[in-house]
Amino acid sequence: MTIAIVFTDQALQNMRRSLLNWYQREGRSLPWRNEPDIYRVWISEIMLQQTQVKTVIPYYERWLKKFPTVQALAKADQQSVLKLWEGLGYYARARNLHHAAKQVVSEFNGEFPEDLENILKLKGIGRTTAGGILSSARNLPLSILDGNVKRVLARIMALEKPPAKALRELWEVSDQILDPENPRDFNQAFMDLGATLCTQKNPSCGVCPWQGQCKAFQLRTPTDFPRKAPKKKVPTKKLVAAIAFNGQNEVFIQQRPVTGLLGGLWEFPNTEGNIASLTENLFPQAIYKHSLETVFHAYTHFKIELKPHIYFVSHHQGDRWVKMTNLHQYPFSKAHLKIIKQLSNHQQLSLPLEKNHP
């Protein structure tokens, strides 16, 4: 197996020293930095997956107040876990955290594993997350390959393939560059370099400690890297939602299946089909009131346009009718939170005159 790029021992020493010196001066102050509690580091690593630091910090702080230990998280019910995660996106992360906490309690006697083999047994933890946790919390010499690191390495190497097509090569270089004497600070510095200097747009090459080793800088085309994979057309799903109120001014909600996209979250009934078919199935005597503004939201592989329609239901069945003031107790996706925000601006929900579907 060939190495994608080979640095001399002197070059490696220079890179490690220059990065750590830069980090000492310019490194970010983050609440999970130099944290000895491996549980807290784990929570931060999962939250930081595909999410910016400024978004994560308030979630991280609220999470630790609610679930200060792995035992507290393991004892929690999934709904409270999802509610605390609400708005952070990629909800499988929250479900995996909950599942892994139960694994720690049942399989490891409540002690979070501190070796690579066992930590990889926990749901939701892969190689880069394991490296991030163990290098940060225990200073173990394990490399990482998150999004920031991939971008830095792709520029250093002037990598001609999209990172997703060159993971083996990227791991080899990350392993090679890692400072085995200071893995904690080195990995944190590596991520900070990508997050603050070697950014996707307008990188600050002039003050980068690795300017001399960067092939993309030498080519004077840093923003040409990482190479991008051909863009796939992102489909848009057009959905309609039925917002049904009863005579007690309660609104009907339903829960998504526990597994799959947005698993376990609550939502208003919706479909890609006809709104009349949806309401006739759920609320045969529903009276159309009016429509709200279309909600737009983008997921990783598709977008949605969700048009909410308000109905009044005089005779209803089912047990999940909730007062508007109690909706905050349930975890909703961002798209349906946007509907709730619109509803909160409609103080009057009087009966309509029309009975036709929109």
Could you give the residue numbers annotated as active site?
45
Do β-strands 250-252 and 321-323 pair in parallel, antiparallel, or remain unpaired? antiparallel
End-to-end Cα, the chain, rounded Å: 63
Helix axes 183-192, 9-26, angle to 10 degrees: 70
Length of the chain: 358
Distance of alpha carbon 184 from alpha carbon 161, whole angstroms: 29
CA dihedral (260, 262, 263, 267) in degrees, to 10, reads -130
CB 277 within 8 A of CB 256: no
CB 137 within 8 A of CB 43: no
CA atoms within a 13 Å half-sphere pointing along the CA-CB vector of 174: 30
Query: 94, exposed or middle or buried, with CB in 10 Å at 0-12, 13-18, 19+?
Result: buried
Query: What SS3 string covers 64-130?
Result: HHHCCCHHHHHHCCHHHHHHHHCCCCCCHHHHHHHHHHHHHHHHCCCCCCCCHHHHCCCCCCCHHHH
CB 43 within 8 A of CB 31: no
Instruction: Give the rounded distance of the alpha carbon of 345 from its chain centre.
Output: 29
Do β-strands 303-313 and 236-246 pair in parallel, antiparallel, or remain unpaired? parallel
Query: What are phi and psi for residue 308, nearest 5 degrees?
Result: -90, 140
Instruction: Give the rounded distance of the alpha carbon of 161 from its chain centre.
Output: 25
